[in-house]
A and B are shown apart, each in its own frame.
Chain A
Amino acid sequence: MNLLARLTDGVPARSLWGLGLLLVLLLVAPALLGKYGLSVLILVLYFAYVGQAWNIMMGFAGQLSLGHALYAGVGGYIAAGLFFHYGIGPWAGVFVAVLAASVAGSIVGYLGFRFSLAGVYFALLTIAFSEFTRIAFDHWSWAGGSGGLFLKVDATSDILNLRGGPLLFYYVILALAVAAFLLCRVLLESRLGRYWLAIREDPEAAQAVGVPVLRCKMIAVVISAAMTSLAGVWNAFYYNNLFPETAFAMGRSIEFTLAPIIGGLGTLFGPIVGAVVLTGLGEIFTDLSELFHISGLKQIFYGLALLVIVMYRPAGVWPWLAERLGFAEKRR
């Protein structure tokens, strides 16, 4: 089956039309939204993208990583560092960044899987590696140490070097998000995707029917890490600064997990819906807490929202929403 057929196989026509319409809206959104609206949409797309990446490892392959900031940080720092020190643009630097993150992912994955770490033990391993790297970067002068790495901002527009205004970054992150979505769809409807789901459900039974569990898990980690590193590169050039304290922070790792968990793990639309919900809630809560001038109020609302969602919709918002709208994703 050719690629287009594989992508659309089994999808009802109205869903395809709906997605098409959504894509068109997203393409013209900058013309419709103001500067603030655009920045919010950029955030949504960013979280949808990193959410898709994390979802591959957790939702599809069932491996809980709480240290994904490692890959975003490594990716961002390498691309930014190459640009800062040698003038190598991100269009080239991204390859090195992705390679480095993939190696990092392979190490974490190999150690974790080879030594049969699962569940919380594996999650702790991922945290340990991320924290370890954070402290290492704090002391690495090439990367700017704890003082940070700063990229020059100038008025020139240079697409290949990711120099430009929000509009450029919007379309880049939109492209990434769309590509991630399509990739996830293709992966799910492939042998590898099916094997991942089997591993997620029951690794022992999967092995008994010939699934090469270690290899599949490794592939999941590497793809997830590589994708996440792209977000790191994007992030570095969008904000133009990097600090180990934030680039590798556990808070960042946790951020990556929220959209897919809240939206619905293991589903295609989960991370996207989750990103919309989270960013939306974030903006509402920011506004609310500004009314009251209490530090930490926004986070308190946020925490309450998370609590409510995990208690009443533990499978995520999307499965519930999809049922309501009659869009149930095919039972996998």
Chain B
Amino acid sequence: MTAPSPPQTISEKILSAKSGSNAVAGDVVVCDVDLVLGTDASAPMAIGYFERMGGRGARVHDASRVVFALDHYAPPSSPATKGFHDQVRAFAKKHSVRLFEVGEGISHQIAVERGLAHPGMLVVGADSHTVTCGAVNAFATGVGSSDLAAAMLTGQLWFRVPETIRVVLEGSRAPGVSAKDVALTLVSTLGADGAEYHALEFTGPAARDFSFDDRLVLSNLAVEAGAKAAVWHPDAVLAARVARFASDQGEPVFPDAGARYARELVIDVASITPTVALPHSPDNVVPIAQAPETPIHMVFLGTCTGGRVADYHEALAVLERGGGKLANGVQLVVTPASSAVERQLAADGTLVKLARMGATITMPGCGACCGTSGVIPGDGMNVLSTANRNFKARMGNATASIYLASPAACAAAALTGRITDPRSLV
């Protein structure tokens, strides 16, 4: 029998449950990890650490909790990246680790789409955007390759229990405003380090208006403000999502009444208009109507913040409303976040419509987001992207400038060849 604990946040509850203690913010705990995600960008290095940590005979502690996805080099863009894939495949086979092949999608997208991440889980992934899984009410956080190796070898990892910022969503979203606009506003409100070492909890009367896919976008972009995790309160949206998977795993975790928060941040969703993040930081956000006149040469619809079915429907609606003719010289690149997304878009006709307009459709995965595969922008090009990072050189060319916006705004720019308020295309 453990001592009665003070009222806890969701993060404190999950990390307490996984460490068998009554943890409060500031404590350091050793936790059993429920789900461990590795990618072709992080697992090769992790395999090296794993073998040095555990010696030649080392075994994965519990292979049923480990998942690899070959997502960053999809398709492999060089002999070296093909070599990374083969290395990860060989390790997965030897240790009976489940592997999602090239083209099956982004690791954390797969985790939520295939029902691998459940409410109340502790998820670690060697990909900073693992925070995305917070949308399923899991404590999900990104780690490096050595921590990935340690989690595979021991089944555990140490954590400092974070303080939590309670994000209260209020007001109703205006037409033409995407989850991406809300997420970029959140990042700019917090600043690039405003949630450093902290967890976020999303709640509030407007939360119910955020679909499950909307929530993935907000949780994902939270890491651009430094958040360690970004967990949504359980509600009917989560329950409907979880009901898709015939699984009895996972109990929704609510915060206790009286839980202590570092602070509360109220986001008035009604005040948010379409936005754009200017180069070279995701927190450099302005209302799109106030953005400087900017020609756009490449539009990228994809990634873990803009590569889902609803994102393409949003973009296609704008493209069709605007006549469906791409502006001269604009390259439109479409990279679905997963093969499941791609299949659905193929079945409902979206892909063929985008292709007929002249879009380049590429293999599902991380695509052009981080310059590891896919289309690399040319010198001096301006890119408008649905991705989450616009650091200089992020897409593989230091002379390109990357702007971030919603699928609707990206579609509008594809039609006009410049940054355009999607609401202006009626």
A binds B: no
